Amino acid sequence: MASTADFKNGLVIKLEGQLWQILEFQHVKPGKGPAFVRTKIKNVLSGKSVDKTFNAGVKVETATVDRRDMTYLYNDGTDYVFMDGETYDQISITPETVGDGARFLLENMVVQVSTHEEAPLSVELPVTVELVVQHTDPGLQGDRSTGGSKPATLETGAEVQVPLFINTGDKLKIDSRDGNYLGRVNN
């Protein structure tokens, strides 16, 4: 159990039988009336975000979420298989739990897996990943008035928009949260 004074970003609480993660919180002390805490919380399983207000000092049940670094091994056709680097235990995680980040997963990539009572909740990739361009059309000089972009297929199969000067075989730095091109990696 924790009171509203113990709230911090990232804390996972149980409300109405579901797990919610606190994204933002703000203690409010109005001129009249009691203090309260305004929060923005996200459902850990569905990803839905809602705003919720708690009276100051209210006790809420906290959930124990275990976050550990795991190595992505392979996709077995349906699920993604990860291995704990300390215990060498392997777990299978569904594509729904892995989420959109699956398109940037490379074998042997270290990710952070969050579990609650041995059930996987989420997979968090590093903020930036380095991937090689498998295919992109050559950019033509002079066919633009400002800096343009073109699609490029990465080694994981993901397609991202890149500047016209990027060529097949270039190693790129990509933001794993939204798929934006961040720059070229010098070898």
pLDDT digits (tens, 9 = 90+) for 175-187: 988 899 999 998 6
Q: Is 167 left (phi over 0), alpha (psi -120 to 50) or beta?
A: beta
What is the per-residue pLDDT across 21-68, written as a single tens digit (0 to 9) for each?
888 999 999 988 899 999 999 888 777 889 999 998 899 999 888 889
CATH of domain 2-62: 2.30.30.30
Domain ranges of the chain: 2-62, 66-124, 128-184
CATH superfamily of the domain spanning 66-124:
Nucleic acid-binding proteins (2.40.50.140)
- Per the CB < 8 A criterion, the answer to whether 112 and 135 are in contact is no
- Per the CB < 8 A criterion, the answer to whether 15 and 4 are in contact is no
pLDDT at 4: 87
- Length of the chain as a residue count: 187
DSSP string, the chain: -EEGGG--TT-EEEETTEEEEEEEEEEE--SSS--EEEEEEEETTT--EEEEEEETT-EEEE---EEEEEEEEEE-SSSEEEEETTT--EEEE-HHHHGGGGGG--TT-EEEEEEETTEEEEEE--SEEEEEEEEEPPPPTTS-SS--EEEEEETTS-EEEEETT--TT-EEEEETTT--EEEEPP-
What's the whole-model pTM score?
Answer: 0.73
pLDDT at 145: 52
Topology of domain 128-184, CATH: OB fold (Dihydrolipoamide Acetyltransferase, E2P) (2.40.50)
What is the per-residue pLDDT across 89-125, written as a single tens digit (0 to 9) for each?
999 998 888 888 889 999 999 999 988 888 888 888 9
Domains 2-62 and 66-124 share a fold: no
pLDDT at 144: 57
β-bridge partners, 72: 82
Report how far residue 53's alpha carbon sits from residue 33's, in angstroms, rounded to the nearest whole number. Answer: 14
